[in-house]
Structure 1
């Protein structure tokens, strides 16, 4: 069986409004379940692909700070 995980995830959130998308992200993070990580990755991919260079720079700086804090 050939399952395209990316397409399945996008299909599950297509048509969602901002509140629903936020709820999906918050639930995935709060659950701490490993199975939610691919979905978050697909959503981040969409954010990244639709961001301009300034937004990407800001995301990378935020990510760097988060990684440094998590390592403490």
Structure 2
């Protein structure tokens, strides 16, 4: 079976409002389940692709600081 994970994740969250998106993210993080990591990766990809250079720099700074 050929599963396109990106399409599946995007299909599941398309049309969600901000509260629903936050609930999805918080649930994925708090559950601690490794199977949720690819979905978070897809959401991060959406953030990255839709961010300007200033926002990308902020994201990188936040990541860098969080990994110290």
**TM-score in terms of structure 1 length:** 0.93
Structure 1 stretches of 5 or more lacking a match? none
Q: Residue 23 of structure 1 corresponds to which residue in structure 2?
A: 23
Q: Residue 42 of structure 1 corresponds to which residue in structure 2?
A: 42
- Which whole-Å CA distance do the structure 2 matches of 1:66 and 1:59 have between them? 10
Structure 2 stretches of 5 or more lacking a match? none
Q: Residue 56 of structure 1 corresponds to which residue in structure 2?
A: 56
- Which whole-Å CA distance do the structure 1 matches of 2:37 and 2:7 have between them? 15
**TM-score in terms of structure 2 length:** 0.98
Q: CA RMSD in A?
A: 0.4
Q: Which runs of 4+ in 1 moved over 3 A?
A: none
- Higher-RCO chain (CA-CA 8 Å, sequence separation at least 6): 2
Secondary structure at the counterpart of residue 60 of structure 2 = helix
Count of matched residue pairs: 68
